[in-house]
Amino acid sequence: MIQTLGIVDACFRTDKERRRSAGRLQGKSVLEWVSRRATDCQQLDGVIVVTTADPANEFVKDLVPLDVPVFAAEAEDILSLWAKALEAYPCEKFVRFETVCPFVDRFLVDRLVKESRRLPEPADYVGYRTQDGTPAMLSSAVLYGELVLTKTLHRLNEKLRSAEDRQHPTRYIYAHPDRFRVHWIPVPEKLDRRDIRLVLVNEDDWEVHQIIVDALGPDCDGHHIAGLIEGCPSLRRQMEAINLGAGREGPSSQHNLTEPHSIRRPR
């Protein structure tokens, strides 16, 4: 069993989500951006992409880098699908990534994993949170990922009955701090602002992302993006206007490797 697995959530249920994941920035699909950035995280022992066996999601396999395993299975809901994936790829804990934001920041993800290891007692959930108390995964900048203990996920799979909760299992965990150990990390100050938007929801978002990639190149991270936004008032105003007009409109599934030698594809 490995220690920490990255899971790229490609459990698409709508054509809008599929179009977004297949959309391209500098010639690479958003799904490839997220998958590759996840494999760049040094504190992850492996990365897989998880999707449903829906024929409409078959395209996922064509967009994922060849060295990243794709796990697809029939499942009634997101929670049961994740549980099946974690049975096929056993690990102590996992970090989930959304495909709503291509700019996963490997430094912030590595900090997330390191922080989970420093805790005196294992936390069921570790994530970033903005100064106003909003979980970063519900914000308009989803650079981070969120970490969950595998045994906690399996326990939820056995006990949760609500269809809504089973579609949003990580939200269920941090919404019940009286039942789970939840640990929050503050979002870096330079990224904790209303005039930043790093999610792909509408056409205006694609324009903003293209501006960022054109200015910073494919290796841009949260630190450099924050610097670009700070030095470009017109981009700040554009992002803030989109935030005010569109909101987060969170993904629907939860919202929805480089494969190291220690991981083997299930037979």
- The reported pLDDT for the residue numbered 218 is 87
**Residue 88 and residue 37: Cα distance in Å, rounded?**
22
Q: What is the pLDDT of residues 95-135, one digit of tens each?
A: 999 999 999 999 999 999 999 999 999 999 999 999 999 99
Q: Which has the closest alpha carbon to 46: 262, 228, 267?
A: 262
Per-residue pLDDT reduced to its tens digit, 127-178: 999 999 999 999 999 999 999 999 999 999 999 999 999 999 999 999 999 9
pTM of the entire predicted model: 0.90
* Closest residue by Cα to residue 33 from 167, 171, 212: 212
Q: Is the pLDDT of residue 266 over 50?
A: no
- Chain segment 209-260, per-residue pLDDT in tens: 999 999 999 888 999 999 999 999 999 999 999 998 864 444 333 333 222 2
Amino acid 194: pLDDT = 86
Q: Are 44 and 6 in contact (CB under 8 A)?
A: yes
Residue scoring higher pLDDT (254 or 53): 53
pLDDT at 257: 25
Cα–Cα distance list, 64 to 84, 107, 133, 220, 261 (Å): 20, 22, 34, 20, 19
Task: Over range 62-87, report the average pLDDT.
Answer: 96
Distance CA 116, CA 146 (A): 11
Q: What is the pLDDT of residue 240?
A: 92
Q: Which domains occur in the chain, in start order?
A: 2-188 (3.90.550.10)
